[in-house]
C-alpha cells in the first residue's frame, strides 16, 4: 500500500476579521470548509479551481504557512506542530516554489548565496565547495548557466528567476514540494522542461508534489490525481484520466467546458 505523506482532516481556515475605520470589524472570512486530502509518497497531485476557490490557501496550509482554524494537517502521520525530528527538519523536508519568484528571492544576495546557504544551514553540504558542486549540477538540470551565480535576482529574467526558485526548492532533496502556479506566463518549451524536471525528481528521490494551477491541460499531463475546489470545498477528486474524461460534478464540467483542453501529445513530457 502507498504511504500517505501529507494529509488534511476536516481542514477549516478562516482569515481574521479586519477592523474598519468607518465602523465595526468585518466578520472573519471562511476560505476552506472542511477539506480532506491526502498525498502519497512519490505522488503528483493537482489542485485546481477558479480564483477565490481556496486552492492557494490550501497549499499554504499544507506547509503550515496558514494556521488551521479547525481540523488538522498531518505530515508522515504527525501534526505539523508535533514533528518527532523538530521544526528545522520539517523546513528541509517541505519546500515551496512560489508563483512570484521576485518576491521570494532576497534582492541583497547573489544567486550563489541564495542557493548554497540553505544547504550549509541544513548540513546537506559539509563545505562551500560541496555546495557549489551540487548547485552546478542542479543549475544544469533546470537549464541555467553558471554565470547566473554571480548575479542578483533583479538581473535575471522572470523565467530565469522561476527556475532559480525551483532549484532552491529541490536543492535540499525534500520529501514534499508545493508548486503554486509556477509555469504560468512561460512559453510552452520552458513549461515542458520544468514539468519534466519535477516529474523526474519525484521518481528519483521519491518526492511528493502538490501542483496548483489553473491550466487544466498541464494538470492532466503531469499529475496522477486531481482535487477540484469550489468555494473552499472539494467537489471532486480522483485520477486525472477519470476526472477529465468523465467529470461527475457540474462545477468540474463547467471548468472543463470553459477552458477547452487541447489534445496533449504523448511525447510532450517524454523524458
194-206 per-position pLDDT tens digit: 888 888 888 888 8
Would you say residue 266 has pLDDT above 90? Answer: no
Q: Where in the chain is the domain with CATH 3.40.50.300?
A: 1-17+26-76+175-271
- Tell me what pLDDT residue 11 has: 97
Would you identify the CATH topology of the domain 1-17+26-76+175-271? Rossmann fold (3.40.50)
- pLDDT tens for residues 69-91? 999 999 999 998 887 776 667 88
Helix, strand or coil for residue 103?
helix
Report how far Cα 161 is from the mean position of its chain's Cα atoms: 16
Pairwise pLDDT comparison (97 vs 205), residue with the higher score: 97
Spell out the residues 6+ positions from residue 99 whose beta carbon is closer than 8 angstroms to its own. 180, 181, 182, 184
pLDDT for 195 equals 86
Count of residues in the chain: 271
Which tens digits make up the pLDDT trace of 109-134? 999 999 999 999 988 899 999 999 99
Residue 231 CB contacts under 8 Å (≥ 6 apart), including other chains:
33, 53, 54
208 in Cβ contact with 199 (< 8 Å)? no
Amino acid at each position: 500500500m502507498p504511504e500517505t505523506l501529507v494529509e488534511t482532516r476536516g481542514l477549516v481556515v478562516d482569515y481574521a476579521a479586519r477592523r474598519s475605520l468607518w465602523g465595526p470589524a468585518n466578520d472573519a472570512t471562511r476560505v476552506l470548509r472542511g477539506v480532506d486530502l491526502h498525498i502519497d509518497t512519490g505522488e503528483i497531485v493537482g489542485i485546481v479551481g477558479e480564483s477565490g476557490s481556496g486552492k492557494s490557501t490550501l497549499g499554504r496550509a499544507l506547509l503550515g504557512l496558514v494556521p488551521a482554524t479547525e481540523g488538522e494537517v498531518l505530515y508522515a502521520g504527525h501534526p505539523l506542530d508535533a514533528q518527532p525530528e523538530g521544526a528545522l527538519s520539517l523546513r528541509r523536508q517541505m519546500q515551496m516554489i512560489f508563483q512570484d519568484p521576485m518576491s521570494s528571492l532576497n534582492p541583497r544576495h547573489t544567486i550563489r548565496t541564495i542557493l548554497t546557504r540553505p544547504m550549509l544551514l541544513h548540513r546537506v553540504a559539509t563545505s562551500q565547495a560541496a555546495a557549489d558542486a551540487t548547485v552546478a549540477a542542479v543549475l544544469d538540470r533546470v537549464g541555467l548557466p553558471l554565470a547566473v551565480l554571480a548575479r542578483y535576482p533583479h538581473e535575471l529574467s522572470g523565467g530565469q528567476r522561476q527556475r532559480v526558485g525551483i532549484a532552491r526548492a529541490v536543492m535540499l532533496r525534500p520529501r514534499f514540494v508545493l508548486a503554486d502556479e509556477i509555469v504560468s506566463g512561460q512559453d510552452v518549451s520552458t513549461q515542458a522542461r520544468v514539468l519534466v524536471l519535477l516529474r523526474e525528481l519525484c521518481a528519483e528521490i521519491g518526492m511528493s508534489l502538490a501542483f496548483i494551477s489553473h491550466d487544466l491541460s498541464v494538470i492532466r499531463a503531469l499529475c496522477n490525481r486531481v482535487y477540484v475546489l469550489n468555494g473552499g470545498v472539494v467537489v471532486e477528486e480522483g485520477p486525472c484520466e477519470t476526472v477529465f474524461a468523465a467529470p461527475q460534478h457540474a462545477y468540474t464540467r463547467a471548468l472543463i467546458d470553459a477552458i477547452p483542453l487541447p489534445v496533449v501529445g504523448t511525447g510532450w513530457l517524454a523524458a
